[in-house]
Amino acid sequence: MPVTQIAAQSLPVPIPVPSSHEHLSHLRLLEAESIHILREVASEFERPVMLYSVGKDSSVMLRLAQKAFYPAPIPFPLLHVDTGFKFAEMLSFRDEMARSVGAELLVWRNESAIAAGTNPIALDTRRCCGLLKTQALLDALRHYKFDAAFGGARRDEEKSRAKERIYSFRDSAGQWDPKNQRPELWNLYNARVHPGESIRVFPLSNWTEMDVWQYIHEEKIPVVDLYFAKERPMYVRGEALLPIEQAFVAHRDEMPQMVRSRLRSLGCSPCTGAIRSDADSIPAIISELLSFRNSERANRAIDHDQEGSMEIKKREGYF
Amino acid sequence: MATLSSPSFSVIDYLAEERGKDLFRFSTAGSVDDGKSTLIGRLLYDTQSVYEDQVRAIEGKGTTVPGQIDFALLTDGLRAEREQGITIDVAYRFFSTARRKFIIADTPGHEQYTRNMATGASTADAAVVLIDASKGVLEQSLRHAYIASLLGVRHIVVAINKMDLIGYAEQQFRSIEHDFSLLLNRIAQDTGNPVDCVFVPVSALAGDNIVHRSSAMNWYAGQSLLEVLESLPPSRNSRLDPFRFPVQRVIRPSHTFRGFAGQIASGTVTVGDFITVLPSGKTAQVTRIVTFDGDLESARSPLSVTLVLDREIDISRGDLIVAAGSQATVARNLDAALVWMDLRPLQRNRRYLLKHTSQTVPAVITAVNHRTHVGTLQHEAATTLELNGIGEIALHLMRPIAVDLYRHNRNTGAFILVDPETNSTVAAGMIHAIHDSTAQGKPLHGSSGPLTAEERSARWGHRGGVLDLKAPEDLVDLIERDLLLHGFIAVRINADDPSPSSDHSLLDAVVQRVVDAGLIALIAHQPDSDEITAHSGSYTTALAADSPAQAIAAVHELLRRAEIAVNTQKAGLQ
Ligand SMILES: Nc1nc2c(ncn2[C@@H]2O[C@H](COP(=O)(O)OP(=O)(O)O)[C@@H](O)[C@H]2O)c(=O)[nH]1
Ligand SMILES: [Mg+2]
């Protein structure tokens, strides 16, 4: 459904300052809950880390971490799992963000799998993710002995994510047992683990995609340019728009076209399709979102390879 | 709400409207096959909260007749759940209307997953209980209502589903409404928490009275389920409750800044407020309320903020900052309702870890007062609770903590128990009664002979002493009432009364007896100037005439300095 009209694009919107007599908006309530979670983890675990994936959810999570410890700096490092297939713009943005918030940034790559030429075309997407994301993540957590890792996943993203606790227990192999999760009542989180076990923490559990964009808008949080529409070279295959980045294998005689497009969610370039769009500002993205008939993961190849594929990946240790 | 298709749609207006929305959480539960998943799927679908690809992914699957979407598949997220057609664990779902953002905790109805039901109810503002109209009230509906009430969910919305199967007949609806109302009354009596209930006849499958009012039931004049949910007040702690702030973390980036980070559990804090830190009992004044977005003049529950105080006092994670005028109780002996959630049954006198707000304390369960049979609401004698068992227990903590009753405060009255060997969360607890108001939980056994000052102070929770007030009568009244509330036992003596206290030696003798008995002699004088003072031991404090809260805080501080009030934390650690 096309959006017929988008009014004044970037009017400054004042950030509502809460006072005791005012109504608290849902964003303030979500923010307060997330900050509480961030502070609990930083205080109860010995070596927490924040998974920073460069996307919009990570950007919100990073801002919440700044807020939680202000005026002190963020008391844990950021970790980026680089598959080697990330968009170049993502990497430069990542480095710039870490610098500007003054956080320590760790980058981890499964170098042996990357050197062996692992890619989603030769392998299926599931095995590719298994090596470049899940394995790399588990290796990094083990190497640094992190006992808690924040992730920006939201319960509204996908059915098995809807079942996640805020503190999601992982055994010493990093695996999730969805049928046997710890009860989680009120805001009392059980942070106890034996050596080698860990907790994945999801401070954005109760945020929706719309909440995230509204928060980015109100808080003026920087996001990667790939989210905004502009003319980009794409291979067009039916409905799909495939961005040209590393490791793209074109068909014979296939030529890229310039398409006004953007990414709705950021992943690895071979597995992330773009969408045709004119949304070149946050308000425009929000109105586009209102008109969408498909979920944000519809353009991600990795979630469709198998019924319940996210659950399987998560059981194996994926975020 | 402006819709997208209207040409005047403005995203700026839309965002302004969004800022006016609040957040409302509700849980759902019912017996297997009551239609809970279908109802939620229907709520999501009819409020345009599911995407087409999600609908496409479930089309042609599930248990409904061909052509009809099995909405349950939208919510059952685990493979085991889809295979077995049941809900195992809580699934969280989100949707919004023009008025509200909703978070649904969709919980399983099976008794064996009761703990997941409790997980969903613990943060809910309301509970939607499903009843299959063709089957009537089953134990699972009762169980959900009971747990919701036990966990302090005030609003229970009873959706009587599958009305289509009984020809939308009013009579059956009314009879279920009648029976279940009686049960809800008994539940409320048992849990001690008031319940407000609403009954709505619905068909989740056909969509009757879910979002839109149905024309199939003209005899029903009430609101649709969604309309009910849109109009209920949230049942969280309000900003008018006493201020409670569990300290999560001390923030100290440099020598010039020391702040206490936490989420306001209840009430409001304003710059200039006097606060007391529990369990130490130290008092200070709030000088700043710090946030990343700038300092606030005042902040309320449930915001996360950082407080800066006017003096250096020892505060660490786990301490509870409270309004000086309305304190929480520092205690080691509690009675609590418990939901047992572990395969290993409750063991008396075994060490568990109790997590309460931001602190963890070793604790033992000294007795099981009773077990509640949820089906009959009978209390049974018991020595243990097994998985999914519900009962009331007596707890003894290894060190005193500051608590409120759960019915007064859902944050500072709640705790979980963790097994220190397995690290499992084994129980959820709600404080029902507090047995000591001080840290001196030691039993006074085996003593004989005259009572000692130690024994008296262990019993009263404070030492004997004189508190001399030169203050107007109404302020003395306030202070006396505050002392009583905080467990101080004071004997008031109006020094200006003509007889018999005009005889000074007699007055002195009375005061001495009171002090020897370990009580507080509260001697009140009319002030002879406009200077209002409190005096105790070798300390004198001026009291603010215009602020009773400050005056009360100053009196507490004075009692501590004069060592009448016992430093509870130190005593507890002995
Ligand atoms: N006739 C009728 N069937 C319903 C209704 N709601 C649910 N059902 C059916 O009842 C069965 C159980 O529904 P489900 O939502 O899975 O129940 P749950 O176990 O409570 O989640 C399914 O076959 C549904 O299609 C209703 O309002 N009317
Ligand atoms: Mg179900």
The CATH number covering residue B279 comes to 2.40.30.10
**Is B444 a domain residue?**
no
CB spacing of A162 vs B263 below 8 angstroms: no
Averaged pLDDT, B101-126: 88
CATH assignment of the domain containing B116: 3.40.50.300
- State how far the Cα of B165 lies from the Cα of A112, in Å rounded to an integer: 62
In a domain, B524, yes or no: yes
B6, part of any domain: no
Q: Looking at residue A299, what is its pLDDT?
A: 54
Question: Residue B339 is inside which H or E element, if any?
Answer: strand B329-340
Answer whether B62's CB lies under 8 Å from B68's CB.
Answer: no
B574 assigned to some structural domain? no
- Mean pLDDT, chain B, whole residue set: 86
What are the chain B neighbours of A205 within 8 Å (beta carbons)?
Answer: 92
Measuring CA to CA, which residue among B422, B401, B423, A112 is closest to residue B414? B401
Amino acid at B16: A
Q: What is the rounded distance in angstroms from the CA atom of residue B26 to the CA atom of residue B76?
A: 17
| DSSP assigned state of A130 | I
For residue B19, which of A60, A283, A211 has the smallest C-alpha distance?
A: A211
Residue A246: pLDDT above 80? no
Residue B272 Cα to ligand 1 midpoint, Å, equals 56
Q: Are residues B78 and B217 in the same domain?
A: yes
User: By percentage, how much of chain B surpasses pLDDT 90?
Assistant: 57
B341 and B465, same domain (yes or no)? no
Crossing angle between the packed helical segments A88-101 and A56-69, to the nearest 10 degrees: 10
Q: How far apart are CA B153 and CA B169, in angstroms?
A: 30
User: What average pLDDT does range B344-351 have in this prediction?
Assistant: 95
* pLDDT band at residue B437 under the 50/70/90 scheme: low
Residues B69 and B63: their CA atoms lie apart, in Å, by 9
Residues in chain A closer than 8 A to B103 (CB atoms): 206
Domain extent at residue B403: 329-434
- Contact status, residue B74 vs residue B63, Cβ threshold 8 Å: no
Same domain, B144 and B206: yes
The larger pLDDT score, comparing residue A319 to residue A288, is at A288
**Rounded mean pLDDT of B375-397?**
95
**Which ligand is in closest contact with the Cα of B130?**
1
**pLDDT value, residue A248:** 61
* C-alpha gyration radius of chain A: 20
Instruction: Write the single-letter amino acid at B291.
Output: T
DSSP state of A182: P
Give helix A26-44 / helix A56-69 axis angle, nearest 10°: 70
Q: Nearest-CA residue of chain B relative to A66? A: B292
Same domain, B164 and B300: no
> Is A26 in contact with B22 (Cβ distance < 8 A)?
yes
Smallest CA separation from ligand 1 atom 25, residue:
B64
* Helix H or strand E segment including B429: strand B425-434
Q: Using a 6 Å cutoff on CB, does residue B17 contact ligand 1? A: no
**CA of B535 vs chain A CAs: smallest distance (Å):** 36
Closest CA to B558 of B530, B539, B531, B533: B539
Q: Which residues of B218-250 are buried (b: 16+ CB within 10 A; e: fewer)?
A: eebeeebbbbbbeebebbbbebebbbbbbbbbb
Contact B10 A7 (CB under 8 A): yes
**Residue B161 Cα to ligand 1 middle (Å):** 9
- Of A215, A197, A161, the C-alpha closest to A34 is A215
Pairing of strands A148-150, A198-201: parallel
**A117: Cβ–Cβ under 8 A, 6 or more apart, which residues?**
none
Total domain count, chain B? 4
Per-residue pLDDT at A294: 58
Contact yes or no for B14 and A290 at CB 8 A: yes
The DSSP output letter for A191 is -
Which numbered ligand comes closest to the C-alpha of B34?
1
**Whether pLDDT at B533 is above 50:** yes
Examine the fold and report which residue of B393, B419, B434 is the final residue of a domain before the chain moves on. B434
- Kindly state if the Cβ of B166 falls inside 6 Å of ligand 1: no
Residue B440 lies in a domain: no
Mean pLDDT over B344-368 rounds to: 96
Query: CA torsion sign, B546 to B552 to B557 to B560?
Result: positive
Give the number of the ligand closest to the Cα of residue B134.
1
* ipTM above 0.90 for this complex: no
| B77-B78-B80 Cα angle (round to 5) | 140
- Interchain contact A95–B (C-beta under 8 A): no
In the reported structure, the alpha carbon of residue B81 is separated from the centroid of ligand 2 by a whole-number distance in angstroms of: 8
Q: Hey, is B434 helix, strand or coil?
A: strand
d(CA B324, CA B273): 8
Highest mean pLDDT among A5-14, A239-248, B49-58, B411-420: B411-420
Residue B456 in any domain: the answer is: no
Task: Give the ligand with the smallest distance to the CA of B205.
Answer: 1
Does residue B207 share a domain with residue B64? yes
Contacts of B384 (CB under 8 A, 6+ apart): B345, B346, B347, B348, B368
- CA A126–ligand 2 middle distance (angstroms): 29
Q: Looking at the structure, give the CATH architecture of the domain made up of residues A26-211+309-316.
A: 3-Layer(aba) Sandwich (3.40)
In the structure, what pLDDT confidence band is assigned to residue B44 with cuts at 50, 70 and 90? confident
Is B474 in the same domain as B540? yes
Say if residue B159 is in the same domain as residue B291.
no
Q: What are B454-471's pLDDT values in tens digits?
A: 667 767 778 888 999 999
DSSP B346: P
Q: What is the pLDDT of residues B229-265, one digit of tens each?
A: 999 987 565 667 899 999 999 999 999 999 999 999 9
Nearest chain A residue to B357 by CA distance is A188
Cα-atom radius of gyration of chain B, to the nearest Å? 28
Contacts of B123 in chain A (CB under 8 A): 185-187
Question: Residue whose CA is closest, atom 24 of ligand 1?
Answer: B35
Give CATH 3.40.50.620 domain extents, chain A. Answer: 26-211+309-316
Tell whether B266 and B226 lie within a shared domain.
no
What mean pLDDT do residues B499-528 have?
80
According to the model, what pLDDT value does residue B574 have? 26
- What single string gives the DSSP state of each residue in B479-501? HHHHHHHTT--EEEEETTSSTTT
Note whether A1 contacts B: Cβ–Cβ < 8 A. Answer: yes
Best mutation target among B8, B11, B28, B110 (most A Cβ atoms within 10 Å) is: B11
Report how far ligand 2's centroid is from the alpha carbon of A162 (Å): 14
Distance in angstroms (rounded) separating the CA atoms of residues B117 and B130? 13
**Among residues B204, B231, B258, which one ends one of the domains?**
B231
- Mutation target to probe the B interface, by most B beta carbons within 10 A, among A23, A39, A168 is A39
Average pLDDT of span B87-112: 85
Chain A, residues 164-183, CB within 8 A of chain B, namely 178-179, 181-183
Is residue B302 domain-shared with residue B399, that is, in the same domain?
no
List chain A residues with CB under 8 Å of B26. none
In a domain, B446, yes or no: no
Residue B447 lies in a domain: no
Measured by CA distance, the residue closest to atom 19 of ligand 1 is B33
Structure tokens at A161: 């994510």
Judged by a CB distance cut-off of 8 A, whether residue A12 touches chain B is: no
Q: Are residues B129 and B226 in the same domain?
A: yes
B455 CB less than 6 Å from ligand 1? no
Distance B86 CA to ligand 2 centre (A): 5
Categorize the per-residue pLDDT at A95 as very low, low, confident or very high, splitting at 50, 70 and 90. very high
Q: Flag if A186 and B411 touch (Cβ within 8 Å).
A: yes
For residue B379, give the amino acid letter.
H
Helices first, then strands: H and E counts in chain A:
9, 10
Rounded CA separation B30/B47 (Å)? 22
Q: Ligand 2 is a single-atom ion; what residues have CB below 5 A from it?
A: B 37, 87
Could you tell me if B281 and B167 lie in one domain? no
Ligand 1 atom, smallest distance to B62 CA: 23
Q: Which of B390, B411, B425, B431 would best serve as a mutation to test chain A binding (most A beta carbons within 10 A)?
A: B425
- Specify the higher pLDDT residue, A255 or B573: A255
